[in-house]
Chain A
Amino acid sequence: MVKFGIEFVPKEAYWKTVYYAVQSEKRGFDNLWITDHYNNRNVYTTLATTAIYTKKIVFGPGVTNPFLVNPLITTQSLASLDEMAPGRVVLGMGAGDKTTLASTGIEAKKQLSAVVDAIAIFRAMLEGKSVTYEGKVFQVKGTRFNFMPKGQIPVYIGAQGPKMLATAGKIGNGVLINASHPKDIDYAVKQIKSGVDEVGKKMSDVDVTAYTSFSAHKKPDKAMQAASPVVAFIVAGSPNVILERHEIDLAKADKIRGALAKGDFGGAFGSVSPKMMEAFCIAGTPDMCNEKISRLLKAGITQFVVGSPVGPNVRTSIDLISEQVIPHFKE
């Protein structure tokens, strides 16, 4: 049965994010993903507080990256969280956003190798033994925790490009695909399968997760309006190959990029076209959303993540999803 996850960006006071986390657990979500950006509240502070106030929801960073947070610190954080909430912790690891990393003075070189190294170190350190690892990007020499981790923690890899997707199929317990359209999921599943086949795994060994931009409301125009700013940023950050896959006018995408660069958010959000909305978000009434989720399930996903903005009013949209979306697929 499909799992439902939800993503929150901890940009406001911790008690708001944790309120939504508790609400999500109460309303039947299986997984909680908290984004990791240096300019928001800290992901592990948020997750630790979530661990205290929840009982069963599975949670983790969605996603962290090895460039800004050293893999040893990521492992330490997750192992500590696993003591607070045994068996409820997962790691979401990606390559990070180059633009954001550049602003911190970090050059994200060899992204694929960095993720592979980070995951190798993560898993080795969780064994509780002394670890020596010579990777292309990260090396450790005789590192060991002064405590015994509780055990292995599932690793989800945030992936978009073909090599990262295939690698995720090879070494991941799950894949987080930043996509809301069946075309992108179809493409991703093919790449993941190539990695899965290469190492003799089964597709059922991998939790194929659509990490969507989502907005639900009883009135479709309100849902769309809430999602259009997120879509503007997705369009601006998408490589041309993905825009072309959805037959999006590259000039219009450039116009949005330009407006965002100038801080003209009204201009950027106003330039989002229906085709862009169709390609990069799931927004509308619960029935409209259900139809689109069904298409993603047919494309091969096993977890559906309700990502930002969730809806025009996060609290009431969580209730709406709980009442009219999750039961559609779970009952």
Chain B
Amino acid sequence: MSYKKIVELIPVEKREALSNKLLNYLLKTKKEKNMPTSMAKCFLSQWQTGGFDDEVGLAVLLEAAATVEPEKTIEFVGQELQLADVAKALEEAA
């Protein structure tokens, strides 16, 4: 499943909390080497042009976070947001 499709599974009211948490994971990560060059450019382009609030932006952010900090991302989605189906989709996509 694509990250765009995964985002569609996330209720709108939970997206802001998710976006905030994922940005913290990325900006505080010590696993910087996990970020592929192309993904870093995509992340910055999205931040420059649109941000991470809409579905396209959140998909970029979710993919980056799931790549750099997969355990934290999946745990937050599954346990904090109580979105088991999304967590499962992320595990399969990773």
Write out the residue numbers on chain B whose beta carbons fall within 8 Å of the beta carbon of A315: 23-24, 27
- Report the Cα distance A314→B40, complex, angstroms: 19
Using an 8 Å CB-CB cutoff, how does the interface string of A61-100 with B read, 1 for contact, 0 for none?
0000000000000000000000000000000000000000
Tell me if B76 counts as interface (CB < 8 A to partner A): no
Taking a contact as CB atoms closer than 8 A, the residue among A49, A54, A314 that contacts B27 in the complex is A314
Q: Which of chain A's residues 9-63 have a Cβ closer than 8 Å to chain B? A: 12-16, 18-19, 22-23, 49, 53-54
Q: Which of chain A's residues 166-192 have a Cβ closer than 8 Å to chain B? A: none
- Report the Cα distance A313→B44, complex, angstroms: 19
Write out the residue numbers on chain A whose beta carbons fall within 8 Å of the beta carbon of B32: 12-13, 16
Kindly provide the distance from the CB of A53 to the nearest chain B CB, expressed in whole angstroms. 5
- Report the Cα distance A54→B45, complex, angstroms: 10
Using an 8 Å CB-CB cutoff, how does the interface string of B28-70 with A read, 1 for contact, 0 for none?
0000100100001001110110000000000000000000000
Taking a contact as CB atoms closer than 8 A, the residue among A13, A19, A49 that contacts B47 in the complex is A19
Q: Which of chain B's residues 1-36 have a Cβ closer than 8 Å to chain A? A: 23-24, 26-27, 32, 35
A15 touches B24 (CB 8 A): no
- Report the Cα distance A49→B47, complex, angstroms: 14
- Report the Cα distance A314→B23, complex, angstroms: 11
- Report the Cα distance A283→B48, complex, angstroms: 29
Interface, chain A (partner B; CB < 8 A): 12-16, 18-19, 22-23, 49, 53-54, 313-315
Starting from the known contacts A16-B27, A19-B43, 9 additional A-B residue pairs (CB-CB under 8 Å) come to: A15-B44, A16-B26, A18-B44, A19-B27, A19-B44, A23-B47, A53-B44, A53-B47, A315-B23
A-B pairs with beta carbons under 8 Å apart, 17 shown: A13-B32, A13-B35, A14-B40, A16-B27, A16-B32, A18-B44, A19-B27, A19-B44, A22-B44, A22-B47, A23-B47, A49-B44, A53-B45, A53-B48, A54-B48, A313-B24, A315-B23
